[in-house]
Structure 1
Amino acid sequence: MDWLTIIGSVVALAVLAGIATGLHYAYWVKRLAVVHDYAERHDLEMSDGVPITLRRLAPPPTPREPPVLLVHGVAANHRNVDAEAGISLARYLHGLGRDVWLLTLRSGQPGLSARQLGFVNYRAMAEHDLPEAVAFVRDRTRAETVDYVGFSMGGILLYGALGRTIESAVLGRVAFIGSPARVAPPHAYLKKLSFLPRFVFRGVWLRFWARMSAFIVEKIRTPAHHHIYNPDNVRPGVAARALVNLIEDVPAPLSADFAGWALDDGIVRLNGEDVLEGLGAVTRPALFIAGAADQVARPAAVRAAFDAWGRDHEGQEAVEKRFLVLGRDEGCAHDYGHGDLAIGDRLEEELFGPLGHFLASKP
């Protein structure tokens, strides 16, 4: 066999593999896609040229309470809080008569240019995406305040923005779901890599691989499954659909942010300052929710933010705040991991209910 034949065979196999991959990808995306409708969509360009998107469910005719802004986590888009029927926080709150808005941060935008990807980092989202989104919702609804619910990174961003780019006076009631104020690597020995420079950490291209593997995610169980979520706490089929509908890539700058914090001392910093330093003066009512078995946002890491919240006012009139852990010891059917805080089987009863009650509470 001559070299031309060998090269031709390799090229032919590569083409066939590419076609098979494309067909596999398209088939499972079509089969597992869950399409949602929204009453409004607003695509906004930030001052650094990177887009964010705000979506709105049909507003109530006469809203009695402030609008609610829902903000997703890392490696996800707005579907993080609007997965599908029965496990959508957005639809649950809408059913309670709330004016619900969903923010898709720059980190949840597919198809960004190489230049735009360079601006996807924690600082940019805390300094641009969050304040611009809050201001837009207030302007559009003519509301004095906005209730805020952050999932994971969506809450971590508010830790950094409060008192810096967002004044607490524009917020009403605030809820954090699995939002750690301290981050750690999955294994302690990885801290030995703290000497690595920032440029070493590359983007994590999850969107493609999540969609490629969705068909088999529930057929096998690995230690990685339990690190991300508790499979026993998720209905069959839900995890596969979540991989197709809500997972996004983690661009290199944002990946470097999280890796830098985790491999160093675990402190989340904005412009070199511990984000918890700005929480002591905050007096807004707050609910902090953690999963008992969450290995991404461990209860103690979420508790750190709870403890810091309103700390400067201790000994004065108490700041309204609550720390809730979802697990068997607290009466839940299962101990919650991280992902099942978004797609768990009994979310309406065990998470949405308490959260909705908190948001509706009056001072």
Structure 2
Amino acid sequence: MQSSSELFPVALLSAEFRGDLSEDVYRLKPGNSPDYSVELALTRLGVANQEQRGVPVILLHGSFSNRRFWYSPKGIGLGPHLARAGFDVWIAEMRGHGLSPRNQSYSGNTVADYARYDLPAIAAFVREQSGQMPHWVGHSLGGITLAAALGGHYLNEQSAASVALFGSQVSRVYWPLKLPPLEWGSRLLLKGFDHVSGSRFKRGPEDEPMGLVLESLRWHRLFGRFGDAERDWWAGLSEVQVPVLAVTAAGDQQDPAWACRKLAEQFKAVPSRYLCLAKEQGFASDYGHVEMLISKEAQQEVWPLVAHWLSVGRLPSEIAQD
């Protein structure tokens, strides 16, 4: 693999113009995890013929998804919106998603792997290329991964200027998993599978490795915790020094507002901001889990708020929820 970085091997897979946008696709091979085969795709968006790029923003997709959540083939999405607003946009794809090939230990991939190895490598490369500290935006599992990286101290104020979490929570209770026999039985059954098919279960275009599912079972079982064998990520969140914005949606049935707010409140060392996208807060609708970022209403109401947060580190006072 040729390298366009002094940190680790990086290949520039393509450099294209997409209408008014420039699109550069990189593939990183950090070699920093036990599975040396891991390669990560990063898409960099900017305005075509732009002389100087703005502040870098890294976007992380959720489960069963890829870069197209942020950037459609027609050049529509939060990614292009931020690029046209002057930001230096980087869209990451997790192991085995989109343009990131499946690694040798794909079935065992976990949030712990993403948080401990992949996000720090992405942060280092973006800082090297841009010369600036990046902001991070994560949706659903992408936001959970950011919370794990912050709580585990794999990302800190030297690698994140701010973090925005959309529809992300770890506090929803699944009572059957609190019964040890059911949790053990579920674990034994699921261990026989390699992955969960996103298309088969109509969850999205990508598959998810079974390691993520088994990891979630550990978090939600009796006496489980948000963390791994080495660190309690939930406890670590109270020490985070990075500004945090948590956005939830009143119509989100997957990650309910109360649970997202509980995650936001765990960031105790610095003021965190919480925003609920709901009619009673003045928004056009009670947004859903996906619609909070992908809908015509989100294009008009939510995308400008994200750009405002990234620019000044706060939301307009009339809709900010503290």
User: How high is the TM-score relative to the length of structure 1?
Assistant: 0.70
Q: Deviations over 1:77-130 (max 9, x none)?
A: 111222465851101111111110000011524795583313421111111111
Larger CA deviation: 45-54 vs 88-97: 45-54
| Aligned residue number for residue 53 of structure 2 | 63
CA distance in 1, matches of 2:112, 2:234: 15
Is the alpha carbon distance of 1:114 and 1:137 closer, same or farther for their aligned partners in structure 2, counting shifts above 3 Å?
A: closer
Q: Is the 8 A contact 2:173 2:220 kept in 1?
A: yes
Q: CA deviation at 1:164?
A: 2.5
Secondary structure at 1:171 match in 2: coil
Which amino acid in 2 is paired with 1:142? G
Larger CA deviation: 273-282 vs 111-120: 111-120
| Aligned residue number for residue 163 of structure 2 | 174
| Aligned residue number for residue 318 of structure 2 | none
CA distance in 1, matches of 2:99, 2:23: 21
Q: CA deviation at 1:178?
A: 0.8
CA distance in 2, matches of 1:150, 1:198: 28
Specify every segment of 5 or more residues in structure 2 that has no aligned partner in the other structure, as ranges. 1-17, 315-322
Secondary structure at 2:293 match in 1: helix
Secondary structure at 1:290 match in 2: strand
| Aligned residue number for residue 15 of structure 2 | none
Asked if residue 205 in structure 1 is aligned to residue 163 in structure 2, the reply is no
Which amino acid in 2 is paired with 1:117? Y
| Aligned residue number for residue 136 of structure 1 | 125
How many residues matched? 284
- Within 5 Å, give how 1:310-325 maps onto structure 2: 311-312=268-269, 319-325=270-276
Q: Deviations over 1:277-326 (max 9, x none)?
A: 122222322211001121221112211221111x14xxxxxx34210001
Secondary structure at 1:343 match in 2: coil
Specify every segment of 5 or more residues in structure 1 that has no aligned partner in the other structure, as ranges. 1-34, 211-227, 229-242, 313-318
Larger of the two Rg values belongs to structure: 1
Asked if residue 41 in structure 1 is aligned to residue 25 in structure 2, the reply is yes
| Aligned residue number for residue 151 of structure 1 | 139
More strand by share: 2
Is the alpha carbon distance of 1:54 and 1:113 closer, same or farther for their aligned partners in structure 2, counting shifts above 3 Å?
A: closer
More helix by share: 1
Secondary structure at 2:46 match in 1: coil
Secondary structure at 1:39 match in 2: strand
| Aligned residue number for residue 183 of structure 2 | 194
Q: Deviations over 1:161-215 (max 9, x none)?
A: 1253222222112211111132444xx45654223363432321113564xxxxx
Which amino acid in 2 is paired with 1:301? A
Is the alpha carbon distance of 1:322 and 1:350 closer, same or farther for their aligned partners in structure 2, counting shifts above 3 Å?
A: same
Secondary structure at 1:332 match in 2: coil
| Aligned residue number for residue 77 of structure 1 | 66
Q: Is the 8 A contact 1:81 1:89 kept in 2?
A: yes
| Aligned residue number for residue 347 of structure 1 | 298
| Aligned residue number for residue 214 of structure 1 | none
Q: Is the 8 A contact 1:268 1:275 kept in 2?
A: yes
CA RMSD of aligned residues (A): 2.7
Is the alpha carbon distance of 1:263 and 1:75 closer, same or farther for their aligned partners in structure 2, counting shifts above 3 Å?
A: farther
| Aligned residue number for residue 125 of structure 1 | 114
Is the alpha carbon distance of 1:265 and 1:84 closer, same or farther for their aligned partners in structure 2, counting shifts above 3 Å?
A: farther
CA distance in 2, matches of 1:170, 1:113: 26
Determine what percentage of the aligned residue pairs are the same residue: 28
| Aligned residue number for residue 8 of structure 1 | none
Which amino acid in 2 is paired with 1:137? V
CA distance in 1, matches of 2:188, 2:41: 28
Secondary structure at 2:165 match in 1: strand
Is the alpha carbon distance of 1:89 and 1:127 closer, same or farther for their aligned partners in structure 2, counting shifts above 3 Å?
A: same
Q: Is the 8 A contact 1:38 1:55 kept in 2?
A: no
Asked if residue 291 in structure 1 is aligned to residue 249 in structure 2, the reply is yes
Q: Is the 8 A contact 2:251 2:286 kept in 1?
A: yes
Is the alpha carbon distance of 1:112 and 1:53 closer, same or farther for their aligned partners in structure 2, counting shifts above 3 Å?
A: closer
- Within 5 Å, give how 1:162-311 maps onto structure 2: 162=150, 163-185=152-174, 188-189=175-176, 191-192=178-179, 193-196=182-185, 198-201=187-190, 202=193, 203-207=195-199, 210=202, 243=204, 247-264=205-222, 267-271=225-229, 273-309=231-267, 311=268
Larger CA deviation: 281-290 vs 97-106: 281-290
Q: CA deviation at 1:72?
A: 0.7
Larger CA deviation: 114-123 vs 337-346: 114-123
Is the alpha carbon distance of 1:85 and 1:184 closer, same or farther for their aligned partners in structure 2, counting shifts above 3 Å?
A: farther
Which amino acid in 2 is paired with 1:288? A
Which amino acid in 1 is paired with 2:52? T
CA distance in 1, matches of 2:149, 2:212: 16
User: How high is the TM-score relative to the length of structure 2?
Assistant: 0.78
Which amino acid in 1 is paired with 2:278? G
CA distance in 1, matches of 2:188, 2:118: 24
Is the alpha carbon distance of 1:119 and 1:357 closer, same or farther for their aligned partners in structure 2, counting shifts above 3 Å?
A: same
